[in-house]
């Protein structure tokens, strides 16, 4: 399309960018959930990220993690690897309100509430469409 800007920065479109490290961490998390615990392939995916970062391998430091412990290790890896990429809120929110609030309060964010895992519907949208109802927690 000749009307398309040559650079994504010149476009008004929101183009998501996903790094290979994130793909590897998603893959490791999926393997852990699918198999009821970490597999050697899941460890290898996390360790590829850690090798590139120059960090000791997870398979070396924690070779026999349970499903829950591996899940938490992947989430911590995501926190460190994806810092400043605006992924943390989504990671915390998808774990549920209790996890969300506990992690934020542990980080010193004392105003965290369970309702913050949902976005409120903008008032303009509620005014334009009488069939819409505000998210219960935001009423």
Give the per-residue pLDDT at 134.
95
Contact criterion met (CB below 8 Å) for 43 and 58: yes
Q: Please tell me the total number of residues recorded for the chain in this structure.
A: 139
Q: Is 43 exposed, middle or buried (0-12, 13-18, 19+ CB in 10 A)?
A: buried
pTM of the model: 0.81
Q: Is 113 helix (H, G, I), strand (E, B) or coil?
A: coil
CATH number of 20-85: 1.25.40.900
Distance CA 67, CA 72 (A): 9
Q: Is 114 left (phi over 0), alpha (psi -120 to 50) or beta?
A: alpha
80, pLDDT greater than 90: yes
The CA distance from 74 to 22, in Å, is 10
Is 55 within 8 Å of 70 (Cβ atoms)?
no
pLDDT band at 118, cuts 50/70/90?
very high
CB-based contacts of 10, cutoff 8 Å, min separation 6: none
Confidence class for position 93, pLDDT limits 50, 70, 90: very high
pLDDT at 15: 73
Beta strand residue intervals within 2-136, DSSP E = none
> Residue 21 in contact with residue 77, Cβ under 8 Å?
no
* pLDDT of the residue at 9: 66
């Amino acid at each position: 399309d000749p009307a398309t800007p040559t650079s994504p920065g010149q476009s008004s479109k929101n183009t998501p960018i996903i790094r290979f490290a994130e793909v590897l961490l998603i893959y490791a998390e999926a393997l852990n959930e699918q198999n009821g615990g970490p597999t050697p392939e899941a460890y290898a995916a996390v360790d590829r990220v850690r090798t590139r970062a120059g960090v000791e391998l997870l398979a070396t430091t924690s070779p026999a993690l349970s499903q829950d412990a591996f899940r938490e290790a992947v989430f911590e890896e995501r926190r460190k690897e994806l810092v400043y990429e605006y992924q943390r809120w989504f990671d915390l929110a998808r774990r549920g309100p209790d996890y969300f609030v506990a992690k934020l309060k542990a980080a010193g964010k004392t105003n965290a509430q369970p309702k913050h895992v949902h976005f409120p519907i903008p008032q303009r949208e509620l005014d334009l469409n009488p069939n819409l109802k505000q998210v219960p927690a935001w009423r």
